[in-house]
Structure 1
Amino acid sequence: MEKLQFYDVAMRPPANKNNTAVNPWKTRLALNFKQTPYKTTWVQLPDIPDVRKSLSIPACRKFADGTDFHTLPILVDPATGRKLGDSFDIAVYLQKQYPTSGGNLFPAQTLDYVFKPESELLIPLSECDDSEYPQYASFNVNVDAAFTAHVILMAHRMPFDPATEEASKAEFVRRAGVSSWDDFAVGGEVRENIIASFERMLGGLAKLFTASEGPFIGETACYADFIVGAWLVMASRTLPEGEWEAVKGWHGGVFGRLFDALAVYAGDE
């Protein structure tokens, strides 16, 4: 089988030790779970729009002002010629195209988790309309919304590549509509309040995991676990160590056990 081509976001070298982008992590976990051979192409943040355009893959999301949001992952399958530029679409493709390889990404199960953000999110989320796996698609949107509402806790410690750090920070500032990168730094009582909100939010999500014997939502790992796991990887690499250890221990250690259990699917190709 010719290797799939997987495009991930390059951060501080070594890239495979500092990659933090959530949606590419969903795809990496799914690729490893499906046991589909692949090769990673690391793309610098400022180069993502040009890479998507060079592959004739349009932006899959837009900002509130209507401008394109060019992001990764991208997956190219040389065996079929398919090019996909959305993490959920990639997971669906892997399950349909390689159904007998690895495990089942979308086993039937109830994923009744809903999160309603109190304010507009800065980053547009994937759509969940017309999906073949509507429960998983809705779960993806709600989990992304829940973590994105608290991502300010992680943003300021993103491990940017020094070669493109200033350009990358400038793009994040532009997207958020803030005046400078330092606006992403939160501390003191403000940070404590956001952490408390983060813990409460994860309490609702933890109920899905504690309904089974764990560490997964169901009996075995599935794409829903990878959706949450991808955010945990980002948290593990961007939160201060003490805060990450606290997250791992919240709600009886549910998310610490999930993070540890998914390590088997977290390797590079």
Structure 2
Amino acid sequence: MAPQIVFYDIPSTLPSKAWSPNTWKTRYALNFKGLAYKTIWLEYPDIEPLSRELGAAPTRNKPDGRPHYTLPMIHDPSTGAVVSDSTKIAEYLDATYPDTPRLMPAGTVGLHHSFEDAGYPLLAPLYPFGLPASNARLNPVSEAYFRSTREETWAKTLEDLTPKGEEDIAQWAKLKEGFGKMNEWIHASGEGSAYIMGDAPCYADIFIAGFVIWIKLVLPDKWEDMKLWHGGRWATLLRNLEKYEAVV
């Protein structure tokens, strides 16, 4: 039996611990491919030291130019590879385990990158809602780190970042509009299509689902509204991918 892949995720106080949209993408991907893995939970201050110790590449640079290390990250004992960033992990899993279901069907890697580039701006209105709500569900050591780093990035407190009143209504409407655009992309694959590529899920659907489940978990009141959007598209997506939600 091949050694289990080690998957590093960030814990929360939620029952399953899993919450982050980015690490959810990798969890969905591992479960979709049916690969044996185990989760190791890392609090925020421990991510950079372990990433450096394992030799993981930084996912981007901080504003001052220093390398920035983030999760998800996997360590595959079968190959010795350490890979961070959910999209790079998906590409690695497809290349290394070609006999398992493909996340990015042959010839679509570039299209998946383009999908992400187009999708992230549509999701931008979510962060003022999702970041404060996520912070409230972190363990104390991660909460302090998350708060200080996000407040530095946004130049305001998380309390001030949270939309209120008319701003809440406007921001939520912008998010609905963005998801409406993604709904159009799915619908373009054919009337009744459940996924971006038609009848079968791919990594683009997992990308969307990572953010949808984030809303469901940390913004339950907002989820009650969102699950009705676009004919129930997003609630259906999560139901369809529910078999890939196992936290192991």
Q: Provide the TM-score with structure 1 as the length reference.
A: 0.84
Percent identity, aligned pairs only, is: 29
1:143 corresponds to: 119
Alpha-carbon separation, structure 2, partners of 1:10 and 1:66: 28
CA deviations on 1:198-256 (whole Å, 9 max, x unpaired) are 11111111012223323222211111110000011111112242x21211111111111
Alpha-carbon separation, structure 2, partners of 1:74 and 1:81: 13
SS for the counterpart of 1:83 is strand
Q: Do the aligned residues in 1 keep the contact of 2:131 with 2:158 (CA within 8 Å)?
A: no
Alpha-carbon separation, structure 1, partners of 2:141 and 2:44: 11
1:170 corresponds to: 148
Map of 1:96-115 to 2, 5 A cutoff?
96-101=95-100, 103-107=101-105
Identify the match of residue 257 of structure 1 among 222, 229, 236: 236
1:237 corresponds to: 217
Map of 1:107-256 to 2, 5 A cutoff?
107=105, 133-158=109-134, 159-178=137-156, 180-211=157-188, 212=190, 213-217=192-196, 218-241=198-221, 243-256=222-235
How far off is 1:107 after superposition?
Answer: 2.4
Q: Do the aligned residues in 2 keep the contact of 1:210 with 1:254 (CA within 8 Å)?
A: no
Q: Do the aligned residues in 2 keep the contact of 1:106 with 1:222 (CA within 8 Å)?
A: yes
Alpha-carbon separation, structure 1, partners of 2:167 and 2:193: 33
Alpha-carbon separation, structure 2, partners of 1:18 and 1:237: 10
Decide which structure has greater helix share: 2
Alpha-carbon separation, structure 1, partners of 2:106 and 2:57: 31
How far off is 1:262 after superposition?
Answer: 1.0
Q: Do the aligned residues in 2 keep the contact of 1:6 with 1:73 (CA within 8 Å)?
A: yes
For the pair 1:88 / 2:87, whether they are aligned, the reply is yes
Q: Provide the TM-score with structure 2 as the length reference.
A: 0.91
CA deviations on 1:116-167 (whole Å, 9 max, x unpaired) are xxxxxxxxxxxxxxxx711101112322332134311222211111344223
2:245 corresponds to: 266
1:70 corresponds to: 69
Which ranges of structure 1 fall in alignment gaps of 5 or more residues?
110-131
1:28 corresponds to: 27
Change (3 A) 1:91 1:149: same
Q: Please report the RMSD computed on the Cα atoms of aligned residues, expressed in angstroms.
A: 1.8
Which ranges of structure 2 fall in alignment gaps of 5 or more residues?
none
SS for the counterpart of 2:214 is helix
Alpha-carbon separation, structure 2, partners of 1:248 and 1:181: 25
Alpha-carbon separation, structure 2, partners of 1:47 and 1:13: 20
The code of the aligned residue for 2:215 comes to: A
Alpha-carbon separation, structure 2, partners of 1:23 and 1:47: 17
CA deviations on 1:37-85 (whole Å, 9 max, x unpaired) are 0011100012211121111113121234423322101111101111111
SS for the counterpart of 1:80 is coil
Moved over 4 A (4+): none
SS for the counterpart of 1:157 is helix
How far off is 1:8 after superposition?
Answer: 0.7
